[in-house]
Amino acid sequence: MKEQLDKIKEEALAKIDASDALEKLNDIRIAYLGKKGELTKVLKSMKDVAPEDRPKVGQMVNEVRALIEEKLESTKVELSKKAREEQMKKEVIDVTLPAKKNNVGHSHPNTIALDEVERIFVGMGYEVIEGPEVEYDEYNFEKLNIPANHPAKDEQDTFYITKDIVLRTQTSPVQARVMEQGKLPIRMISPGRVFRSDEVDATHSPSFHQVEGLVVDKHITFSDLKGTLAEFAREMFGKETKVKFRPHHFPFTEPSAEMDVTCFKCGGKGCRFCKGSGWIEILGCGMVHPHVLEMCGIDAEEYTGFAFGVGLERIALLKYEIDDMRLLYENDVRFLKQF
Ligand code: DAH
């Protein structure tokens, strides 16, 4: 028995000495001290040992086990130290290397344009109010004077969620939502995403952004509308900018108009940018239709108002002279960083 134990001891210690990696030590531990290991086998064969010799053999086994464990531990410490030292040697830090650039993002042209629009209107005392992107048909159409069979409903190729719920095709429903709350007077703009079932091309996208505007108070006239929007245009596109209102039709305003601004590229002389006309169409607007006021619980005899809707992408494209709307949605940092 003693010989067998000595042999196990010598063998194990030699193997530990020869190991050059921590994983190997673990293999050795399992091979000798593990459940099915050499030393454990000896313990299991105790039943063949004469009872009076058992304590002696037991002690020997324990001594060998302790020896092997000790050797395993000290070798482990040694190997770990060596491994660390080697790693330190490999990982030399070159303090002369330039620091990693901190990659911060960049504001999107839409965001820059919206910040500008908000700054201008907040400066004139307007509140910024947001409405839901998933909207009731009732707010998106009915309360804006667009009943079920109105042709204006056909023009906007709507994404329907259910018969009564749509992805809003315009930010105008926020007008109805704000008027309904009954707090007067109102001076608000409402920016946000809108959706139309349009094919993607250089000037169209199924999802884009608008900024809605609404003022309701006593004695609001078309002059207020013109003065406000002319001031907006001057602030947005430069002091020299002139505006022109062309009659148009929107179901929820009466009278309605589209506003053009003088081309800020050529100052109105006509160029490639404004297609030779000297003018660029910028927004839709009008006096809030009395029927819309009434549907939202406002006395149209006492109160009047004006409203407008601007395409945010349109402003960003014009202001930054971008000729393809798709660039705004690709989020290529090289593109975005230019603004
Ligand atoms: N909602 C209209 C559209 O998407 C834009 C618009 C026109 C909004 C006139 C208005 C307005 O508030 O008065 O085409």
Mutation to probe ligand 1, out of 129, 150, 170, 211 (largest number of atoms < 8 A from CB): 170
Q: Which run of H or E residues covers position 139?
A: helix 137-140
pLDDT single digits (tens) 106-153? 899 999 999 999 999 999 999 999 999 999 999 999 999 999 888 877
Q: Which two tokens stand for residue 270?
A: 């006509």
Model confidence band, residue 176 (pLDDT cutoffs 50, 70, 90): very high
Measured from the Cα of 214, ligand 1's closest atom is 12
Which pLDDT score is estimated for 46? 81
Q: Which of 51-60, 272-281, 301-310, 311-320 has maximum average pLDDT? A: 301-310
How far, in Å, from the CA of 256 to the mean position of ligand 1?
9
Q: Say whether pLDDT at 155 is over 80.
A: no
Model confidence band, residue 202 (pLDDT cutoffs 50, 70, 90): confident
Model confidence band, residue 319 (pLDDT cutoffs 50, 70, 90): confident
Residues 6+ apart with CB under 8 A from 54: 46
Distance CA 116, CA 167 (A): 26
Distance CA 336, CA 16 (A): 62
Q: Which amino acid is at 53?
A: D
Distance CA 319, CA 297 (A): 39
pLDDT single digits (tens) 226-246? 999 999 999 999 999 999 999
Phi first, then psi, for residue 103 (nearest 5°) are -85, 90
Contact 109, 322 (CB under 8 A): yes
For atom 3 of ligand 1, the residue with the nearest CA is 170
Cα–Cα nearest to 196, from 174, 224, 167, 219: 167
CA atoms within 13 A on the CB side of 138: 6
Mutation to probe ligand 1, out of 153, 174, 216, 285 (largest number of atoms < 8 A from CB): 285
Q: Which amino acid is at 52?
A: E
Mutation to probe ligand 1, out of 155, 252, 288, 313 (largest number of atoms < 8 A from CB): 252
Q: Which two tokens stand for residue 72?
A: 């395993």
* Mean pLDDT on 286-308: 98
Residue whose tokens read 């920016």: 191
Mutation to probe ligand 1, out of 193, 194, 250, 315 (largest number of atoms < 8 A from CB): 250
Hey, is 274 helix, strand or coil? Answer: coil
Q: Say whether pLDDT at 156 is over 80.
A: no
- Which residues pair with residue 309 across a beta bridge? 212, 284
How far, in Å, from the CA of 266 to the mean position of ligand 1?
27
Residue whose tokens read 């003022």: 215
Phi first, then psi, for residue 52 (nearest 5°) are -70, -25
For atom 5 of ligand 1, the residue with the nearest CA is 309
pLDDT single digits (tens) 68-96? 999 999 999 999 999 899 888 888 888 89
Distance CA 204, CA 109 (A): 17
Taking CB atoms within 8 Å and a gap of at least 24, the contacts of 105-111 are: 105/333, 105/336, 106/333, 106/336, 106/337, 106/339, 107/336, 107/339, 108/328, 108/331, 108/336, 109/316, 109/319, 109/320, 109/322, 109/328, 109/336, 109/339, 110/209, 110/312, 110/313, 110/316, 110/328
Helices (H) and strands (E) in the chain, counts: 13, 9
Q: Which two tokens stand for residue 205?
A: 């996208």
pLDDT single digits (tens) 8-64? 889 988 899 898 888 888 888 888 888 888 888 888 888 888 888 888 888 888 888
Q: E strands along the chain, which residues?
A: 127-128, 134-136, 165-167, 186-195, 207-217, 243-250, 253-262, 279-288, 304-311
Which pLDDT score is estimated for 133? 98
Contact 225, 308 (CB under 8 A): yes
pLDDT single digits (tens) 248-295? 999 999 999 999 999 878 888 998 878 899 999 999 999 999 999 999
How far, in Å, from the CA of 172 to the mean position of ligand 1?
6
Q: Which of 200-209, 215-224, 315-324 has maximum average pLDDT? A: 215-224
Rounded (to 5) percent helix, strand, coil in the chain: 45, 20, 35
For atom 4 of ligand 1, the residue with the nearest CA is 170
* Residue ranges around ligand 1 (CB below 6 Å): 170, 172, 212, 250, 253, 284-286, 307-309
Measured from the Cα of 171, ligand 1's closest atom is 1
Contact 64, 5 (CB under 8 A): yes
Residue whose tokens read 């006395």: 299
For atom 8 of ligand 1, the residue with the nearest CA is 309
How far, in Å, from the CA of 210 to the mean position of ligand 1?
9
Distance CA 100, CA 42 (A): 60
Measured from the Cα of 169, ligand 1's closest atom is 4
Mutation to probe ligand 1, out of 135, 139, 168, 172 (largest number of atoms < 8 A from CB): 172
How far, in Å, from the CA of 2 to the mean position of ligand 1?
100
User: What is the number of other CB atoms lying within 10 angstroms of the CB of residue 114?
Assistant: 21
pTM exceeding the 0.85 threshold for the entire prediction: no
Distance CA 226, CA 242 (A): 11
Which of 12-26, 136-150, 173-187, 296-310 is predicted least confidently? 12-26
Residues 6+ apart with CB under 8 A from 153: 141, 146
